[in-house]
A and B are shown apart, each in its own frame.
Chain A
Amino acid sequence: MRIGVFVCKCGTNIAATVDTEAVARKALEYPDVVYATDYMYSCSEPGQQEIQQAIEKYDLQGVVVAACSPRMHEVTFRRAVEKAGLNRYMFEQANIREHCSWISKDTEANTRKAMDLVRMSVEKLRFNQPLFSSQVPINKRVLVIGGGISGIQAALDCAEGGLEVVMVERESTIGGKMAKLDKTFPTIDCSSCILGPKMVDVAQNENIHLYAYSEIESVSGYMGNFKVGIRKKATYVDWDACTGCGLCTEKCPAKKSFDGFNEGLDTTTAINIPFPQAIPKKARIDPKYCWYLIKEKCKICQKICPVDAIRFDMENETVEEEVGAIIVATGFDLVDHSVYGEYGGGHYPDVITGLQFERLVSASGPYGGHILRPSDGKEPKNIVFIACVGSRDPSIGRPYCSGICCMYIAKQVILARDHIPDCNCYVFYIDIRAPGKNYEEFVRRAQEDYGVQYIRGRVGKVYPKGEHLVVQGIDTLLGIQVEVEADLVVLATGVAASAGAKELAEKLRISYDEYGFYMESHPKLRPVETNTAGVFLAGVCQGPKDIPASVAQGSAAAAKTQALFSRDTIETDPQIARVNELMCIGCGKCIDVCPFGSIQWKTLRDGSQKAEVLDTVCQGCGLCNATCPPKAIQLQHCTDDQILAEIEVLCAGERHG
């Protein structure tokens, strides 16, 4: 074999602590190396050309580049050698930057290590085989998980682009958290007015198929060819027949049902439509509260339904959809503020969350848009807003900033002063975060035009005294304690990952961080992609953000999907496991151990059972290779022989120093 070695100086990144010339010179001593040189920036155009020219000139059959991490430029160099006529897997990259030059300042030691690393790469290359990928067709349908604003945007953009969209939403209506808001900052736009039309578009768009009140049961397959199991939860109402007339809601006697849409401030009937603009506008029975489903009494809804849509015997149903890409837009939940015993631990009815305040202010809310105290229905005179509840708090394991609370507090105080002109509003804050367009001006408006008292300092304790709530805070700018006898306390509760986020991530095989937010491929350059090909992210499930950013990410995810579908086929990755049937003893251990279910039994003509790898499902993790007793299954491009070659040559190396 004829091998060429190219040692990159990477400017001073490598050259400062590694003698690249010496490494190249040494490489010529290795078996099969016929050419070696060093270069300033191998990844640049002239650098790549140098490699290509050398391949031609010296008739190279394999190339080693000693440079940065393969995670940076392996793709670049593989493409370069392929253009020069080599199979792209006849290339090895030795990492002499992140693993060498960047670690130590000892030039001598680094140079010796770089020589070792190059030796290992050369040896591995000697055992490499050309590998070839195959083409698989792409199913140009996209699944959008989550019907909040970013999911809606993604779905509409995809549908606009002519793609078929399957949308799955866990609640019985789409709209997400935005549907619960009264107004949005900084324009004080009515939330339902701007969200409503988009929701209707989703319902009416012939390219979008909506599964509401459904959840993802299972996901299998790979980019371009996913199989998704969707569990349609029982609503006990035939949605094909239901017209959303609401008669059942009027007559239902079980009036103590938990009202999730109104954040528990109110109760509703067991059969209900969450809010007037719900999409789909269909009724659903909550089995925890329905008298018939609990104790077989009632059935009034069935009797009065004009289209006979009630089905008490309905069960969950699972359907399967096949899609080529998945956009995850599962949104968020609020941090549970009951951990704050000093704020009542969730027991004081007049200490409410930011979202509960939105419901109070909303015309479709529990009190018809009047801000009233949940405890006694009286109008509050003094309202206190406490910022950073559950955010910026390492003591409860949430050190991050939720990013939207400063803005929504400003909005809420403006609304409060609008609704109750003579009320006193106090905001206890630590810092104001108002980075968006017109955001800072909006917060200043609250302080300058609306006469809201912003007090810089936290609140230590809130406790009841008579009919009021005493709020003990501090003004750190003056260094004095400030006490407010409040009638209503609003906690700006922070953003947490949606319930069930981790379980869904495991099904999709995407990563999540310690808080349950899904991990993007690269925080700066690839914010809507995941490390799992074909799965994209949009909205708060990727991290706290406001509505404009969520919408932008929805569109971005749609664009990524469109790009993915712009081809008709995709290339499979040949760095996957392969079974040598002659060596396979049919023990089945690899099948047991494969996390992706990509190995199956194959029966040969003589009746013997062997393992078989499904090319398109295998993710190349190598677990089977490590498990296989006779080593019949090998991970291509990372075989036992190749790894052992590297180890042997390293251990046999000259003793240094």
Chain B
Amino acid sequence: MAILNSLRMPRDCDENFIHRVETESRQQISKCYQCGNCSASCAYTYVYDYPVNQIMRLIQLGQKEVVLRSRSIWLCADCQACTTRCPCNIDIARVMETLRFLSVEEDTVSIKNIQLFYDEFINSVKIFGRVFETGLLATYNLKAKKPFTDIDLAPKVLKKGKLSIKPHRIHGRKEVSDIFKRFEDYRNKKNLD
């Protein structure tokens, strides 16, 4: 958690960051009057380093580094409680989603094992066209160096026939990986602009 002791304005306020967040999320951050309803409703506040209303406040003050390096944005489950209850009609969940992909762009993801899990998920989709759950768990466990994750569930899962040994490869695998390729091109072009 970054320690923020004081701010010198306008030097310490990254206006471009505010503008970027607003453009990508299509939400007007200045509408937030810090009522805290989002944080009051957010079930994940107890594991956040910054409750979501403070994330909104940090964006208002242009604190790019603090926000994009926070743990909060990666522990958010996108459960929509905040968006549902915001009196100012701000889609806060969408702002959090925006912050997530901005932090991927900046390579400042704070919780590595979550990023790892998502990366392996996407790899699985890239290769097979669908998520091969067993494979995902196996590679995640290996790469995260947590080989015993969910091992307690293994016996029963096997018994109930819920564990598939082979991945289902869809016929349109190439179409899916082409989508990925075109997306990467689009992203590279955007970054160069």
Touching chains A and B, CB distance < 8 Å: yes
Interface residues, chain A, with chain B CB atoms under 8 Å away: 342, 388, 392-396, 430, 456-461, 472-476, 479-481
- Interface pick from B13-21, B83-91, B168-176: B83-91
User: If the complex has contacts A392-B33, A481-B45, are A457 and B39 also in contact, measured as CB distance less than 8 A?
Assistant: yes
Judged by a CB distance under 8 angstroms, whether B41 is at the interface is yes
Tell me if A388 and B41 are in contact (CB < 8 A).
no
B88-130 near A? 1/0 per residue, CB < 8 Å: 1100000000000000000000000000000000000000000
B46 to nearest A CB, angstroms? 7
**Residue of A at shortest CB range from B37?**
A458
Q: When the two chains form the complex, which single residue of B31, B40, B45 contacts A458, counting CB atoms closer than 8 Å?
A: B40
Contacting residues of chain B (30-80) with chain A, CB-CB under 8 angstroms: 31, 33-42, 45-46, 50-51, 53-54
Tell me if B85 and A342 are in contact (CB < 8 A).
yes
Q: When the two chains form the complex, which single residue of A342, A430, A479, A480 contacts B35, counting CB atoms closer than 8 Å?
A: A430
Q: When the two chains form the complex, which single residue of B40, B85, B89 contacts A394, counting CB atoms closer than 8 Å?
A: B89
Tell me if B87 and A480 are in contact (CB < 8 A).
no
Tell me if B87 and A457 are in contact (CB < 8 A).
no
Query: B37: which A residues are within 8 A, CB to CB?
Result: 458-460, 474
Query: A456: which B residues are within 8 A, CB to CB?
Result: 36
**Residue of B at shortest CB range from A431?**
B33
**Residue of A at shortest CB range from B88?**
A394
Q: How far is the CA of A375 from the CA of B146 in the complex (A)?
A: 52
Tell me if B36 and A476 are in contact (CB < 8 A).
yes
Q: How far is the CA of A476 from the CA of B36 in the complex (A)?
A: 6
Query: A430: which B residues are within 8 A, CB to CB?
Result: 33-36
Q: When the two chains form the complex, which single residue of B40, B45, B89 contacts A395, counting CB atoms closer than 8 Å?
A: B89
Tell me if A458 and B35 are in contact (CB < 8 A).
yes
Known: A459-B37, A461-B40. 20 other contacts (CB 8 A): A342-B41, A388-B35, A394-B31, A395-B89, A430-B35, A457-B39, A457-B40, A458-B36, A458-B40, A458-B87, A460-B37, A460-B40, A472-B40, A473-B36, A474-B37, A474-B40, A474-B51, A475-B36, A476-B39, A480-B45
Most B CB contacts (10 A, CB to CB) among A342, A461, A476 go to A476
Q: When the two chains form the complex, which single residue of A394, A479, A481 contacts B54, counting CB atoms closer than 8 Å?
A: A479
The count of chain B contact residues (Cβ–Cβ below 8 Å) is 23
Tell me if B40 and A459 are in contact (CB < 8 A).
yes
Tell me if A481 and B40 are in contact (CB < 8 A).
yes
Judged by a CB distance under 8 angstroms, whether B138 is at the interface is no
Judged by a CB distance under 8 angstroms, whether B81 is at the interface is yes
Query: B53: which A residues are within 8 A, CB to CB?
Result: 474, 476, 479
Q: When the two chains form the complex, which single residue of A393, A461, A474, A481 contacts B87, counting CB atoms closer than 8 Å?
A: A393
Q: How far is the CA of A166 from the CA of B89 in the complex (A)?
A: 46
Q: How far is the CA of A457 from the CA of B34 in the complex (A)?
A: 8
Tell me if A472 and B41 are in contact (CB < 8 A).
yes
Q: List 16 A-B contacts (CB under 8 A).
A: A392-B35, A394-B87, A430-B34, A430-B35, A457-B35, A458-B40, A459-B40, A460-B39, A460-B81, A461-B40, A461-B41, A476-B54, A479-B51, A480-B45, A481-B45, A481-B46
Q: How far is the CA of A250 from the CA of B34 in the complex (A)?
A: 53
Most A CB contacts (10 A, CB to CB) among B34, B38, B81 go to B34
Query: B51: which A residues are within 8 A, CB to CB?
Result: 474, 476, 479-481
Tell me if A479 and B40 are in contact (CB < 8 A).
no
Query: A475: which B residues are within 8 A, CB to CB?
Result: 36
Most A CB contacts (10 A, CB to CB) among B37, B38, B86 go to B37
Query: A457: which B residues are within 8 A, CB to CB?
Result: 35-36, 39-40
A430 to nearest B CB, angstroms? 5
Q: How far is the CA of A481 from the CA of B41 in the complex (A)?
A: 9
Q: Which 10 A-B pairs have the closest CB atoms?
A: A460-B41, A460-B40, A457-B36, A474-B40, A476-B36, A458-B37, A474-B36, A393-B87, A474-B39, A458-B35
Q: When the two chains form the complex, which single residue of A396, A459, A476, A481 contacts B34, counting CB atoms closer than 8 Å?
A: A476
B10 to nearest A CB, angstroms? 24
Query: B86: which A residues are within 8 A, CB to CB?
Result: 395
B1 to nearest A CB, angstroms? 11
Q: When the two chains form the complex, which single residue of A392, A460, A476, A481 contacts B85, counting CB atoms closer than 8 Å?
A: A460
Query: A479: which B residues are within 8 A, CB to CB?
Result: 39, 50-51, 53-54
Q: How far is the CA of A388 from the CA of B89 in the complex (A)?
A: 16
Query: B41: which A residues are within 8 A, CB to CB?
Result: 342, 460-461, 472
A295 to nearest B CB, angstroms? 46
Query: A459: which B residues are within 8 A, CB to CB?
Result: 37, 40
Contacting residues of chain B (127-160) with chain A, CB-CB under 8 angstroms: none
Tell me if B33 and A481 are in contact (CB < 8 A).
no
Tell me if A392 and B39 are in contact (CB < 8 A).
no
**Residue of A at shortest CB range from B86?**
A395
**Residue of A at shortest CB range from B50?**
A479
Q: How far is the CA of A430 from the CA of B34 in the complex (A)?
A: 8
Q: How far is the CA of A396 from the CA of B88 in the complex (A)?
A: 9
Query: A481: which B residues are within 8 A, CB to CB?
Result: 39-40, 45-46, 51
Q: How far is the CA of A480 from the CA of B51 in the complex (A)?
A: 7
Most A CB contacts (10 A, CB to CB) among B34, B51, B87 go to B87
Query: B50: which A residues are within 8 A, CB to CB?
Result: 479
Q: How far is the CA of A395 from the CA of B86 in the complex (A)?
A: 7
Query: B36: which A residues are within 8 A, CB to CB?
Result: 430, 456-458, 473-476
Query: B88: which A residues are within 8 A, CB to CB?
Result: 394-395
Q: How far is the CA of A346 from the CA of B36 in the complex (A)?
A: 23
User: If the complex has contacts A430-B33, A476-B53, A479-B54, are A392 and B87 also in contact, measured as CB distance less than 8 A?
Assistant: yes
Q: How far is the CA of A342 from the CA of B51 in the complex (A)?
A: 20
A388 to nearest B CB, angstroms? 7
Q: How far is the CA of A479 from the CA of B89 in the complex (A)?
A: 21
Q: How far is the CA of A459 from the CA of B36 in the complex (A)?
A: 8
Q: How far is the CA of A457 from the CA of B88 in the complex (A)?
A: 15
Most B CB contacts (10 A, CB to CB) among A393, A459, A460, A475 go to A460
Q: How far is the CA of A475 from the CA of B35 in the complex (A)?
A: 10
B157 to nearest A CB, angstroms? 34
A472 to nearest B CB, angstroms? 6
A534 to nearest B CB, angstroms? 40
Q: How far is the CA of A479 from the CA of B85 in the complex (A)?
A: 18
Query: A388: which B residues are within 8 A, CB to CB?
Result: 35, 87
A19 to nearest B CB, angstroms? 40
